[in-house]
Structure 1
Amino acid sequence: MSLYDRIMNKQEKVAIIGLGYVGMPLAVAFAKKLSVIGLDLNKEKIDMYKCGVDPTNEVGDKAIEETSVEFTSDETQLKKAKFHVVAVPTPINLDKTPDLSPVEKASATVGRNLTKGSIVVYESTVYPGVTEDICVPILEKESGLTCGVDFTIGYSPERINPGDKVNTLEKIIKIVSGMNEETLEEIAKVYELIIEAGVYKASSIKVAEAAKVVENSQRDINIAFMNELAMVFDRMNIDTKDVIDAMNTKWNALNFHPGLVGGHCIGVDPYYFVYEAERLGYHSQIILSGRKINDGMGKFVADAIIKNLILANKVVKQSKVVILGVTFKENCPDIRNSKVIDIITALQDYSIEPVVVDPLANSEDAQKEYGIELKQLHEINDADCLVFAVAHNDFKNLTQEEISKMFGEFDANEKVIIDVKSIMNKREMVNKGYRYWRL
């Protein structure tokens, strides 16, 4: 009987290592069909899951309450599983080089509890070669087992889009790969149980690893192009969104928009690809140029804020600037690698300490990660400038009256609105007399 058959009969369990924005939805999905162990070394997070609370807001509290996932922070529970999925984050260091420590530690954890006949699948984003050249030796060392003899490996890049309630885990085609044909088939069959869109069998583990970093690098470059256009159009006094709307009337136009590119994927993955390319003697030109542009957008927005404050006859140092949104993307509580922080830092260089509001972000995380004290929307008044940095629905749904109440008592043309995500009707804002600027 194959491992897949034993898993289906619940004679063997599936273990998900790392229960964040990727691992937790995966664990919940698998638990609808299989016996699942969900491991995360963060005991506080595990306690929240056991209490039916979803801090990621990816599947919701109700799904967590009803799931049969065995949530644990005890790594020895992994001994009960034969199919392991590693879904820990892979960030970058301050010098933009890959930080593989989370995936290395996860490999050691799995290795210490690995049993013969197991399959280990990695979902963490890495550059080509990491799974086989870095993770496998750790698994072998910690377990005393031999890869290809006692256990096998595979790679299936995560494609979760945090905050997206349409393109969910089940509806996105899953790339799968394995070290040999038999392992590939086993991995494919297990994932096919939960992926309605189906799976794509990559020809090798390295191809699957490369596909992940390339798909995000491609997106990063396209956004960088739009960001560069936005900076040039700003000098030309041309509205970028108006240009995009006109351009998109052609059938083959690519519907990309300028913006802040952060988070744990698009703002990180290109550096993984560049790192390995440079190690092999090739210096990236396009990818690094795109990264440089996107990493500089926070300062560009901050400069636009200062310019518009001056044009509104404000004393810059005394201006009350309110930043609406601090997460890395809309309708998502994740603040990791948020580029809104770059706006805040740049404003601080002008002696402005902005007030920050985000109804989705965790206040404790914001304080711990960035030293920011989050305020509530209803607390905002006497503002000189509102910066709509993230397109949360909470901000999109604000009425004209609610927006007006957040400003101080002065003429409309002295009220500055900076619309980074173009969520407002420009004509309406201008007709109301606001000093309005959008990226």
Structure 2
Amino acid sequence: MFENPTVSVIGLGYVGLPLAVALARHFDVIGFDTNRQRVEELRAGHDRTGELSVGELADSKLEYIADESFLSEAHIHIVTVPTPVGPDNKPDLRAVESASRMVGRHLKMGTVVVYESTVYPGVTEDFCGPILEEESGLTSGQDFFLGYSPERINPGDKVHRVDLITKVVAGQTHNVSQLLARLYGTMNGNNIFVARDIRTAEASKVIENAQRDINIAFVNEIATIFQKMGISVHDVLEAAGTKWNFLPFTPGLVGGHCIGVDPYYLAHAAQQLNIEPKVILAGRSINDGMAHRIADNIDAQLSGPSKILVLGIAFKENVPDIRNSKVADLIARLAVHGHTVDVFDPMADAAETKHEYDIDLVAEPATGYDAVVGAVAHSAFDQLSLRKLAKPDGLIADIKAIWRQRGVPDGMTYWTL
């Protein structure tokens, strides 16, 4: 359909930026974002997500724009905007709708619009397609075409990069599927799986993280059970992990923009069909409740209102991403118990944390805390001096088992899941 297409990537976050840079090695690529500050930062060689280095940005021929009129130059549009849930845990498709309306204003005959945002089956064709038609005056499947290729970005993962993993693609027609296979295959050595259709590709994405969520929920539940028995779940998992087919999941807080969100998209789709997704929602309930359960356990080991240091606010280790961080829920629950909480995270942005959660990060932790909570396993926390941070008889609540092998100074109380 196109020999040398110009590609636009809509949204330059954790998903869009690495994809755009990878594609720009082979095609003319327009990297678009509505956040002009983000665009200016990238032009200056700074990626606040930490996914790409200054050198990688400097070496790329990717064009960064915040002016939507440039989108009319593209033959293929790839939409990578966020798909969160609202306060009621229902899908929030406002960003996808907005991006679709914008792309629709610049569609031309033969254009292909590909969605990478996580959605439930049917959104690309039944929700986005009509919006594109409305804005463009063109007909989907005749004048322009739809595609879907689920994103598989794992923030902070330098091994499973977008150009090194299998890409699932699906198009509205056979020719579109083959076009997308060639497009994405150019950047990842033709490591492509062509799904049967768009709905199949959408479904494959939404179950990937739902599956992980359910497995983590199981481990979180057994952690609660074994605690009551006086058994360390980490010791149990080490023993069980010697079996060849045991799945290596670990307990903890489940946040972020994928595992903590995607199952609700699948649950919503099921409920639209009058099917109650019991396993999916049970897993979500367990994982969403872990922050409060952990905070209550910490509170039970302290003698009244205490001064607590929480290490980490990001949703996972070694990334600055604070989206949907369940550590924020943990901190709020500790405050409900009357504790004073300092939060230290050298990777997170202080202004973003304040805006998102009204939490003030400390530039450096103080000393003599009644409790130190290892909430996120940043590498920077491995060698912190617990003797300096905590009181001689303080509590070390090691949620992520950061210091489990190292141990804690004599006189301190060590607690983990």
The normalised TM-score by structure 1 is 0.93
Post-superposition offset of 1:200: 0.6
Q: Deviations over 1:142-186 (max 9, x none)?
A: 111111111111000000000111211122211100011000000
Corresponding residue for 2:390?
A: 407
Alignment of 1:113-128 (within 5 A): 113-128=106-121
C-alpha contact 1:90 1:100 (8 A) present in aligned 2: yes
**2:354 is aligned with what amino acid?**
Q
C-alpha contact 1:53 1:65 (8 A) present in aligned 2: no
Q: Deviations over 1:318-376 (max 9, x none)?
A: x1100100011111111010000110111111122310001111111001000111113
C-alpha contact 1:170 1:197 (8 A) present in aligned 2: no
**2:282 is aligned with what amino acid?**
S
Pairing 1:345–2:338 present: no
- Paired with 2:190 and 2:105, the residues of 1 have a C-alpha distance of 34
C-alpha contact 1:91 1:264 (8 A) present in aligned 2: yes
**1:433 is aligned with what amino acid?**
G
C-alpha contact 2:398 2:404 (8 A) present in aligned 1: no
Pairing 1:279–2:272 present: yes
Corresponding residue for 1:436?
A: 414
Q: Deviations over 1:59-83 (max 9, x none)?
A: 1222122221111111111001111
Aligned Cα RMSD in Å?
Answer: 1.2
Which residue, 374, 382, 386 being the options, matches 1:388?
A: 374
C-alpha contact 1:172 1:197 (8 A) present in aligned 2: no
- Paired with 1:308 and 1:71, the residues of 2 have a C-alpha distance of 52
Alignment of 1:218-233 (within 5 A): 218-233=211-226
Alignment of 1:119-268 (within 5 A): 119-196=112-189, 198-268=191-261
C-alpha contact 1:152 1:183 (8 A) present in aligned 2: yes
- Paired with 2:117 and 2:38, the residues of 1 have a C-alpha distance of 19
C-alpha contact 1:160 1:169 (8 A) present in aligned 2: yes
Q: Identity of paired residues, percent? A: 48
- Paired with 1:65 and 1:382, the residues of 2 have a C-alpha distance of 45
- Count, aligned residues: 417
Post-superposition offset of 1:427: 6.6
- Paired with 2:86 and 2:375, the residues of 1 have a C-alpha distance of 25
- Paired with 2:19 and 2:327, the residues of 1 have a C-alpha distance of 29
Which residue, 4, 15, 24 being the options, matches 2:8?
A: 15
Unaligned runs of 5+ in 2: none
Unaligned runs of 5+ in 1: 8-12, 311-315
Q: Deviations over 1:249-297 (max 9, x none)?
A: 1111011111111101000000000001001110111010000000000
- Paired with 1:302 and 1:196, the residues of 2 have a C-alpha distance of 47
Match of 1:94, SS state, is coil
C-alpha contact 1:171 1:197 (8 A) present in aligned 2: no
Which residue, 27, 45, 68 being the options, matches 2:20?
A: 27
Post-superposition offset of 1:197: 6.9
**1:331 is aligned with what amino acid?**
N
Pairing 1:77–2:70 present: yes
- Paired with 2:118 and 2:225, the residues of 1 have a C-alpha distance of 33
Which residue, 316, 322, 327 being the options, matches 1:335?
A: 322
Post-superposition offset of 1:18: 0.5
**1:116 is aligned with what amino acid?**
M
Match of 2:131, SS state, is helix
Match of 1:230, SS state, is helix
Corresponding residue for 2:4?
A: 6
Which residue, 297, 302, 308 being the options, matches 2:295?
A: 302
Q: Deviations over 1:106-161 (max 9, x none)?
A: 00010011111111100000000000000000001111111111111100000000
C-alpha contact 2:83 2:92 (8 A) present in aligned 1: yes
- Paired with 1:173 and 1:188, the residues of 2 have a C-alpha distance of 11
Pairing 1:46–2:76 present: no
Pairing 1:321–2:319 present: no
Match of 2:414, SS state, is strand
Match of 1:15, SS state, is strand
C-alpha contact 1:298 1:342 (8 A) present in aligned 2: yes
Corresponding residue for 1:36?
A: 29
Corresponding residue for 1:101?
A: 94
Which residue, 366, 373, 379 being the options, matches 2:353?
A: 366
Pairing 1:419–2:406 present: no
Match of 2:369, SS state, is coil
- Paired with 1:424 and 1:199, the residues of 2 have a C-alpha distance of 41
More helix by share: 1
Post-superposition offset of 1:403: 2.3
C-alpha contact 1:155 1:176 (8 A) present in aligned 2: yes
The more displaced of 188-197 and 33-42 is 188-197
The more displaced of 301-310 and 325-334 is 301-310
Post-superposition offset of 1:383: 1.1
Match of 2:301, SS state, is helix
Post-superposition offset of 1:417: 0.5
Post-superposition offset of 1:245: 0.1
Post-superposition offset of 1:426: 4.7
Match of 1:354, SS state, is strand
- Paired with 1:30 and 1:397, the residues of 2 have a C-alpha distance of 39
